[in-house]
Structure 1
Amino acid sequence: MPSDTTQAPWVLMYHSVADCRDDPYHVTVSPQRLAAQLGWLRRRGLTGVGVAELLAARAAGRGRGLVGLTFDDGYDDFLTTAVPLLLEHGHRATVFALPGRLGGTNAWDADGPRKALLTAQGIRAVCSAGMEVGSHGLLHTDLTSASVDEQRLAAEVQDSRALLTEVTGRAPEGFCYPYGAVDERALDAVRSAGYGYACGVAPGALTGTYALARTYVGDRDSSPRLHAKRLLHAFPAVREALHA
C-alpha cells in the first residue's frame, strides 16, 4: 500500500444502521453487517476515527493505520445502534447532523421509510461517547441548486454551525455537503464559515480539505468487497481506468 502521506485519506461513508428490507436509496447497513465491517478493519490493523482526528493525525505524521468513518444525515440509529458497535470494536466516527431538523425525520427522501433523526439530547450523548459531530447543513439542501440564494446558503452553512455550537458547546470542525453536491460557491461558503474541512462523495473537479472524497459503504459490502474498495482507493490510477 502507498504511504498514508502520499495519498488522500481513506474515509468511509455510511448513513443509517438499521433493518435494510425497505431501503430504496441503498443508504442502510444492518447492524450485523456493520459489526462485520468494523471487525474487518480491526483484523487488518485499521482503526476508524472521526475525520477531524484523522486529518490532525496525518498532519502530525501519525496517520498510518487510521481510517475516517462518517455517518451522514444524523439518524437516531447512529446513537442507538452504531455507537455501541463502534465502541465494542474500538473505533470512533463522525456523524453529520441536521440541526434544523432535530428530532425530525428524513423528510427530504420522497420514497422509503421515515427515519427518526437525532435530538439535541442525542447529539450531546454522541459527543459524550467520544464521537465527532459535524454539520450536514440545516435541512439537507442541495447547496449547488440554482434555487439556493446567498441568504439561504449562509443559513445552511453558518447557522447550522452556530446551532450545533449551542447544542454541544463546541463549534464543529467538519461540514458534509448534502447529496455530496459541491461547487466553488458552496466550498467558499463553508471555508468562510470557519469549518476546518468538508466532505463530498466521489472525487471530482474540486479536491482538497474542503472537498474530501469518500468511499460509499453499503449492506452488500462483505470483506472481499471492502478489500477491493481499499485497493481502489490506494491505487487511484486503477480506479480512474475502471471509470474511463
Structure 2
Amino acid sequence: MNTDIDTGHRIWASYGVDGERPAATAPETRETRPVNAIAEPAWSGLRRLARFGMRRRAAAAPCGVVLMYHRIAEPASDPWDLAVSPRNFADQLAVLARFGPVGTLAGMRAALDRPAPPRRFFALTFDDGYRDNLVAALPALTRAGVRATVFVASGLTGSDREFWWDTLARAMLECPTLPGHLHLRLGGGRHDWRLGPAPGRARRMRLIASVRSELMRLEPAAIEAAISEIAAWAGIERAGAAANHPMDLAEMQALAASGQIEIGGHTHSHAALTLIAPEAAAAEIARGRAALRDRTGQPVTSFAYPYGLHDGHGLAAVRAAGFDCACTVRPGIADAASDPFRIPRIQVKDWPAERFEREIASFAGRADGT
C-alpha cells in the first residue's frame, strides 16, 4: 500500500464512537471514529454526550460516573491526551471529594446495588499498567484516602521498553527531522508513507494515526518488529525512558498489595479484540485474567476493552472468562440498569482544578436530572 498521508490515511474505519463494531461498515466520518482515535478533536466527555445525544434512561436514579485515566506524568509528547500531571491529579482528587463517594469500579457497582445507594458514585480507573500508576498515582490516592481500579495488560508487565504507541509518538513528534518516506512490510504486504520535506505537526499526527491503525491489526511479535524498525528509521532507541515503561512484576504486586487498588484485566498483550479471530480474542482475555490472579493472589473481576474495541464475541468471551463487568470508552453515565459489560467512561484530561470542577459539576447536574 502506498499512502500519501494528506489524502489517503486510514483511521480505524468501520468502528463506532464507543469502539463497538457496527452492523454494517459505513464511510468514515468524525462521528464513526472511536473516541480515542488520534484525529478526534479534544472534546470533553460532557460535550461528546451532548453531541451524540446520549442521555440517561432515568436521570433521577442513583448513578455512577466512571473516570478514565492512563498516566500520572508529564511526557514530552502525548498525542492521545493520556497523561495528567501529578499536580493536576492531586487537585482533581480534592475536587471529587466534594461531589460524592469515590472508589473502584467494583466499589461503584456494589454501591449501586445497595438498598439505599448513594445519589452518585465516582469510580477511578487507569488503563494499561504504566509504572507511574505506582510511583505517582498511588501516593496521591493514598493521601486522599481514595481507591481506584488499574487495568493491566498482563503480558506487558515487566517489559524493558515503553508501550509501542509511545515509541510511535516519540518517533513522529519528538524528532526534529525525519526521512521523507517510511517503508514497512506488514502482514505480508508492503506499506509506504510519504511525508515530504520538513513535515509539520499536523502531517506527523496524520502519519501516527495511519501507522497506528495498521499496527493494531498485527500479532504482538509483528507489532514489535515494526515499531523497532520505525525507531531505527527515526534514529531513536526503542526502549524509551524507564519512567514510561509498564510496571514490572514486583511493582504490580506492590500496587495490588497496597490496599488502595483493584487490579483489573486488559487482555494479555493489549490486543484489539475486534481485529483478531474470536478464538484468539477469547484466549487473550482468559490468559490475561489467569496471569493477574496468579501474580497478585487476588480476584480479578473487572475488565476494560483495549482501545475500547468490542463486539458480541468479545463481550461473551469476557463473561465466559469469569469477569463480572467490563468498561468501554463510550462516554456516558452508568446506573443499576446499565449493561455491566458495556460500562461507559469519561476520559479525564490534564485539566487544572477549575476546569475539572466545571466538568464534574456539569456531569453531576446531568446525573441529578438538572
**Whole-Å Cα distance in 2 between the matches of residues 118 and 81 of structure 1?**
12
> Is the counterpart of residue 66 in structure 1 residue 121 in structure 2?
yes
Over 3 Å counting, the alpha-carbon distance change for 1:165 and 1:122 in structure 2 is same
Match of 1:241 in 2: none
Map 1:159-198; keep pairs closer than 5 Å: 159-198=287-326
Match of 1:124 in 2: 253
Map 1:67-106; keep pairs closer than 5 Å: 67-104=122-159, 105-106=162-163
For residues 38-65 of structure 1, the C-alpha deviation after alignment (integer angstroms, 9 at most, x for no partner) is: 01112x1433211011101210134445
Over 3 Å counting, the alpha-carbon distance change for 1:30 and 1:203 in structure 2 is closer
**Whole-Å Cα distance in 1 between the matches of residues 257 and 108 of structure 2?**
19
Over 3 Å counting, the alpha-carbon distance change for 1:157 and 1:234 in structure 2 is farther
For residues 180-238 of structure 1, the C-alpha deviation after alignment (integer angstroms, 9 at most, x for no partner) is: 1121111111111110000011149xx611011011101035433443345246527x9
**SS of corresponding position for 2:316:** helix
CA positional deviation for 1:90? 1.4
Match of 2:77 in 1: 22
**Whole-Å Cα distance in 1 between the matches of residues 89 and 136 of structure 2?**
10
The letter of the residue matching 2:343 is L
| RMSD, aligned CA | 2.5
TM normalised by structure 1 equals: 0.86
**Whole-Å Cα distance in 2 between the matches of residues 26 and 54 of structure 1?**
25
**Whole-Å Cα distance in 2 between the matches of residues 57 and 226 of structure 1?**
23
CA positional deviation for 1:100? 0.7
Match of 1:219 in 2: 350
**Whole-Å Cα distance in 2 between the matches of residues 202 and 233 of structure 1?**
18
- Work out whether residues 70 and 95 of structure 1, in 8 Å CA contact, stay in contact via their aligned partners in 2: yes
> Is the counterpart of residue 47 in structure 1 residue 101 in structure 2?
yes
The letter of the residue matching 1:67 is F
CA positional deviation for 1:70? 0.3
- Work out whether residues 10 and 67 of structure 1, in 8 Å CA contact, stay in contact via their aligned partners in 2: yes
**SS of corresponding position for 2:270:** coil
The letter of the residue matching 2:170 is G
**Whole-Å Cα distance in 2 between the matches of residues 117 and 5 of structure 1?**
40
Q: How many residues align?
A: 232
The letter of the residue matching 1:30 is S
Unaligned runs of 5+ in 2: 1-55, 172-239, 333-337
- Work out whether residues 12 and 214 of structure 1, in 8 Å CA contact, stay in contact via their aligned partners in 2: yes
Over 3 Å counting, the alpha-carbon distance change for 1:233 and 1:45 in structure 2 is closer
Match of 1:107 in 2: 164
**SS of corresponding position for 1:190:** helix
**SS of corresponding position for 1:167:** helix
For residues 9-30 of structure 1, the C-alpha deviation after alignment (integer angstroms, 9 at most, x for no partner) is: 1010000111143212210010
Q: 1:143 aligns with which of 273, 285, 288?
A: 273
Structure with the bigger RCO (C-alpha within 8 Å, sep 6+) is: 2
Runs of 4+ in 1 over 6 A off after TM superposition: 2-5
The letter of the residue matching 1:125 is A
**SS of corresponding position for 1:10:** strand
Over 3 Å counting, the alpha-carbon distance change for 1:159 and 1:233 in structure 2 is farther
- Work out whether residues 139 and 156 of structure 1, in 8 Å CA contact, stay in contact via their aligned partners in 2: yes
